[in-house]
Structure 1
């Protein structure tokens, strides 16, 4: 720990594996798209938050000081619709799900972020950004709303590799905060919902009365916490379409600087081979698995055991197999730790295996966070040490070194 890393990460914007280098030596600024808290985050959301947690912990493991923002979206069209449906005010609704979120991340051992802003607390910053965009010709008024002119930003769509030839001949405007599906809605996106009078959900400002739209909220919360640029920006693969390109267009139009050096996106979690949706009735929450007797550690293990850029399929059969896999590994480790070796003995072969555990773990993690291979190398080492133990070739010093190595690795994995 603390040694220079040769961490290589897949950068969505270049579509290449790149050696990681932060802007400031030894420090990392990391923005992670948090949940929209008009409902509970589901297991697929937590797969994304867990890959981000592994990244954060591994950066810290290798010696970086990490500042992380994980934001809450608490004012958007969907939150207003949901609160009206439940005959409650928006903030009572979102506060309930914010509390649920922190209960879930405690169960899954996800580290709390450095900053946890809400979109409702960054309205002033959103207004300042919109004013600058209007001033510089990147935004315009239309029927009481403010829209971003996608043609004003020459690199629009560069993250998702959208071609300018795909743009419509006529101006199209998209008025909602979000749209379903993974297709591009090619046109100007809304920044400010003007002439709004929802009680407690509209603000008096230099733009008049209204509220900031979703795609200005993340830039505002970024500026209020980490500043206008970061080293890493993370989210789910669904954010590759529209949302993150909108964030880039907004911030880079204002600053003239690259918003993020690296863009990382986690793949979806499927359930029974299909995307989770309420209409299919296949949405699963952490509390559902906890109520069936699975521990937070076992849920964490299921969701991180694989590669973050590959889709993971959940079934209850797979969940049980994965949980038993972890139980077996923990039992093997416990048996090694509980052995009563000859205090004077220190086996050379065992020493060599244990000595290589952490470097081998790092070599796999440096390869774009290859958690699966890191686990497999650990299991191989434990199996080989078990054979040596059966032959009476594990000494006290070996056991002490093994416990130390596992403790180091567990600073990242948090399941051992």
Structure 2
């Protein structure tokens, strides 16, 4: 029985899909005006891990995550770079795909772009206007926030406080165009800037930020979603506004469970990492400095998704050591497959089943990654102990190895197995060993022989030279 923490109710609730064995899940993607930073990567990895666990448990997941490829930030950045907004979007969408590939983030079932859905967005806004939920003002179209009953419930904020904050963020011109400071744009007039715009019943313009996710999520997943996710900073105003405009349009409940991941913090003061604060490092730059991207994936996916992650070199190094501990245990047992006997060790298999049950209990509790990975460490310890036995049962060893690999793949981590050396690599090591022996560097010679033996490569030193076989 899987329980998830619903931001709407601030409570853990039993999760049951609306359609048997199918989960419809939407996660807000990035605005593509720059390389993504580790905070963006954290959200992508958190929900990729949740998706993977659902799939591990046998569910079919329709996973939709968008690209915001037109907004004020993109217009400003494109102008600064001397390119068009579509060119800027193409550049950073390609970068997103390139940078997330080493982190083993699964491709979305659908990865829609806002600019590909302009007709649907216009139809959506027209319906809101027709129903009295939205109004045109000087080329802009605004949603009447207070007309929607229960507006702001996801934010868990006092409406008067939200209204005061909203008024404080508006310039005089925009405040004059609105009926109420709380109203938000679903369509923005071009106002003569000419950067990028589409014809509409209200004149040339472009979508508001919030409207695109409402349109794309309902287009690909239907009016009623199982899960909607994103960073906790999106709960208000973005997701709050999505609820209002979507339910006003469809007349149905929009989302069953709202899931939000925590921030990434940096520095001794645990300051939130964000582009606006200027304290971020792009994932693109980080990957250039990291030898093993799986270390970053392991670090980000094995912290509970709702908790803040303290990013530091110290914590990355700890993750690297823990991942190497898992790989070593896996490979120790993998090596024993070469001399494993036919049959099963029922006591070991019973221990595997017990640990897997505990792992599932942890993940069923709102995807408690820390407790779940603790069970993987128990499997690794079991693998280390079993690999030292005089006789190892092949079926049992294979079951244990497959179980470790399956549970690690929920966290998106692969590469546990020892990669088989190519013949050319073996020949190069033998040549290095021969040179070491000639120079009487016998410690290095023995080290190379032992390294090859660990990977199943045996050496025969003959009068005609060193020969090897697997």
Structure-2-length-normalised TM-score: 0.81
Q: Which has the higher helix share?
A: 2
Q: Residue 288 of structure 1 aligns to a residue in which SS?
A: helix
| Compared CA separation, residues 186 and 409, structure 1 to 2 (3 A) | farther
* Aligned residues of 2:139 and 2:191 also touching (Cα < 8 A): no
Determine the C-alpha separation between the residues in 2 that align with 1:344 and 1:52.
41
Match of 1:239 among 234, 246, 250: 234
| Compared CA separation, residues 358 and 140, structure 1 to 2 (3 A) | same
* Aligned residues of 1:300 and 1:415 also touching (Cα < 8 A): yes
Q: How does 1:143-154 map to 2 (within 5 A)?
A: 143-154=138-149
Residue in structure 2 matched with residue 158 of structure 1 by the alignment: 153
Q: Once the two structures are superposed, what CA deviation does each residue of 1:298-331 show, in whole Å capped at 9, x if it has no partner?
A: 1100111210111011111221221121012101
Residue 307 of structure 1 pairs with residue 304 of structure 2: yes
Residue in structure 2 matched with residue 100 of structure 1 by the alignment: 95
Residue in structure 1 matched with residue 385 of structure 2 by the alignment: 387
Residue in structure 2 matched with residue 354 of structure 1 by the alignment: 352
Deviation at 1:383, TM superposition (A): 1.1
What value does the CA root-mean-square deviation take over the aligned residues?
2.3
| Compared CA separation, residues 321 and 249, structure 1 to 2 (3 A) | same
Residue in structure 2 matched with residue 179 of structure 1 by the alignment: none
Q: Once the two structures are superposed, what CA deviation does each residue of 1:141-174 show, in whole Å capped at 9, x if it has no partner?
A: 2233111111110110011123345464999597
Residue in structure 2 matched with residue 42 of structure 1 by the alignment: 37
Determine the C-alpha separation between the residues in 1 that align with 2:89 and 2:165.
38
Q: Residue 130 of structure 1 aligns to a residue in which SS?
A: helix
Deviation at 1:82, TM superposition (A): 0.8
Match of 1:203 among 198, 203, 210: 198
Q: How does 1:281-296 map to 2 (within 5 A)?
A: 282-296=279-293
Q: Which runs of 5+ in 2 are unaligned?
A: 172-179, 415-470
Q: Once the two structures are superposed, what CA deviation does each residue of 1:23-82 show, in whole Å capped at 9, x if it has no partner?
A: 111111111000000111111111111111011111111121111111000110110011
Determine the C-alpha separation between the residues in 1 that align with 2:79 and 2:70.
13
Determine the C-alpha separation between the residues in 1 that align with 2:378 and 2:247.
47
Q: Residue 382 of structure 2 aligns to a residue in which SS?
A: helix
Residue 83 of structure 1 pairs with residue 78 of structure 2: yes
State the number of aligned residues.
403
Q: Once the two structures are superposed, what CA deviation does each residue of 1:197-228 show, in whole Å capped at 9, x if it has no partner?
A: 44461111223221111111111222332232
Q: How does 1:165-244 map to 2 (within 5 A)?
A: 165-166=160-161, 168=163, 187-199=182-194, 201-244=196-239
* Aligned residues of 2:140 and 2:187 also touching (Cα < 8 A): yes
Q: Once the two structures are superposed, what CA deviation does each residue of 1:273-303 show, in whole Å capped at 9, x if it has no partner?
A: 2222457653122333322233221110011
* Aligned residues of 2:27 and 2:64 also touching (Cα < 8 A): yes
Q: Answer 1 or 2: higher relative contact order, Cα 8 Å, separation at least 6.
A: 1
Residue 132 of structure 1 pairs with residue 130 of structure 2: no
| Compared CA separation, residues 196 and 169, structure 1 to 2 (3 A) | closer
Deviation at 1:84, TM superposition (A): 1.0
Residue 57 of structure 1 pairs with residue 52 of structure 2: yes
Residue 376 of structure 1 pairs with residue 374 of structure 2: yes
Q: Once the two structures are superposed, what CA deviation does each residue of 1:244-295 show, in whole Å capped at 9, x if it has no partner?
A: 0000000011111111000000001112222224576531223333222332
Residue in structure 2 matched with residue 181 of structure 1 by the alignment: none
Residue in structure 2 matched with residue 363 of structure 1 by the alignment: 361
Q: Which runs of 5+ in 1 are unaligned?
A: 1-5, 177-184
* Aligned residues of 1:173 and 1:189 also touching (Cα < 8 A): no
Residue in structure 2 matched with residue 73 of structure 1 by the alignment: 68
Q: Residue 358 of structure 1 aligns to a residue in which SS?
A: helix
Determine the C-alpha separation between the residues in 2 that align with 1:265 and 1:86.
33
Structure-1-length-normalised TM-score: 0.90
Q: Once the two structures are superposed, what CA deviation does each residue of 1:74-123 show, in whole Å capped at 9, x if it has no partner?
A: 11011001111111111111111000111122111111011111111111
Report which of the two structures shows the higher radius of gyration computed on alpha carbons. 2
| Compared CA separation, residues 146 and 280, structure 1 to 2 (3 A) | closer
